[in-house]
Amino acid sequence: MVTLTSCKSDPERTFSKRDLNDLPQILEQGRLIAITDYNSTNYFIYRGQPMGYQYELLQDLADHLNIKLEVVVSNDLEETFNCLRMGDCDLIALNLTITRERKKKFDFTVPHSQTRQVLVQRKPEGWEKMTESQIDRSLIRNQLDLENKKVYVQQNSAYYNRMLNLEEEIGDTIDIIDVPEDAETLIMMVADSQIDYTVADENIALVNQTYYPNLDVKTAVSFPQNLAWAVNTGADELRKEINGWLEVYRKSTRYAVIYNKYFKNNRSASIMKSDLFTLSSGTISNYDVYIKQYSREIGWDWRLLASLIYQESRFNPAASSWAGARGLMQLMPSTARRFGVSSKSPASEQIRAGTEFIKWLDNRFAEEIPDPEERIKFVLAAYNVGPGHIFDAITLTEKNGMDPTLWHDNVEVYLLKKSDPKYYRDEDVKYGYARGRETYNFVYQVMERYEHYKNLIEDQPLQDS
């Protein structure tokens, strides 16, 4: 149910320090491009909201730098390393074990956490009725007992190298099978009896044990290891900035809350089993079927409409605002009446009315903004603050010599200025003062969440009957 948005590097491209993205270039561009993987701890969507340990750390780093965060996803380590090496990403945000071989290719930040590698194996049949010692006797507790055992590990991972080293240490053969599947997929395969053994970081293994209580993760196969992020060799200013931030951040209450939230949360199992845990269900909300149906009628990607509805109501059909807007689509009473719904209308009708309103707004801007993709941002803004204020911002943009058909760095700039008397009292402004910052944030947040949805949710429109 997951689609991969990954770095699409040009294999012919040569990367040099001349086009290396270090901190000055990143700050100038106003965005940090980070690559991470999707799983139940690092990056996922639950109840319509992007979440995850790596995601929240990255968001806090971007806030510290006062720039925007762009997340790219891949569960293929080779692709992840290439993304950084080719300069398509600025940062690898994973639980990367620092190894000598990797240090030849990349520079690492100071550690963001520590863990050790453990063997993931199944408890014996009937383990629920056994004592702890009975369970232990049936499992591998001594690393020497891995002799001739078949252990599956992720390709290009530190787990593979660790098992090679362990093979040397025990002086015997371990049947090490490296596969493209990520650590969490392999853990699930152990739980489902598809394979017998894999290796994972202990913190990840412990989280997954809450989903799969038939797993045992007590047997360590490594000493404690530092986990860090990676930047390109030569991106010294970026690495130093992240290091300084991490040194302070790791000692903060904020970091402790985030770490405990993802690695020590008793609710982890219920979250993963929920129909709204997108990685396993492919579902954003309880209303996806209606969102897909009506988004098709306005020519929108259903994930974009879902992002708008989340922004408006968090998918709560009984939501109401201080201004009197109600329902999933947060329509004002007059707008709701115009499109034939009330606060008591079912969710399907609320979404139908909201999309008809979107279509009406789209028609209003069709002449001024001919590009349909660009027009989406204008429609979102008008949905939030009303079309009049957006037409005012278009007028001001053109009057001041900028492009009135582009939202970013053009019309959005003059919408922000509509809280300044110099601009809202302009003779060509018809609708006066507006809290432009709210609408600016609204558009940005809807579009940003839409990108997260595209990262992690396959576009599965309704099939024609």
Distance CA 217, CA 186 (A): 13
Identify which of 121, 272, 117 has the alpha carbon closest to the alpha carbon of residue 190: 121
Rounded Cα distance between 336 and 239, Å, is: 52
- Give the CA distances from residue 409 to residues 414, 417, 458, in Å, rounded to whole numbers and listed in that order: 9, 12, 30
Tokens 């599947």 correspond to what residue?
A: 181
Cite the active site residues. 312
User: At 75, which amino acid appears?
Assistant: N
Q: What is the tally of helices (H) and strands (E) in the chain? A: 21, 13
User: What secondary structure does DSSP assign to 62-127, as a single string?
Assistant: HHHHTSEEEEEE-S-HHHHHHHHHTTS-SEEEEEEE--HHHHTTEEEPSPSEEE-EEEEEEPPTTG
The residue type at 256: A
Structure tokens at 362: 């789209």
The H-or-E segment that residue 288 falls in is: helix 288-298
Closest CA to 389 of 405, 408, 367, 412: 412
Q: Which residue has the tokens 């929240």?
A: 56
266 vs 190, 200, 278, CA distance in Å? Answer: 22, 20, 19
Length in residues, the chain: 465
Instruction: List the beta bridge partners of residue 277.
Output: 46
CB 90 within 8 A of CB 238: yes
Spatial separation of the C-alpha atoms in residues 73 and 83, rounded to whole Å: 10
Rounded to whole angstroms, the Cα distance separating 290 from 341 reads 15
User: 3-state DSSP call for residue 429?
Assistant: coil
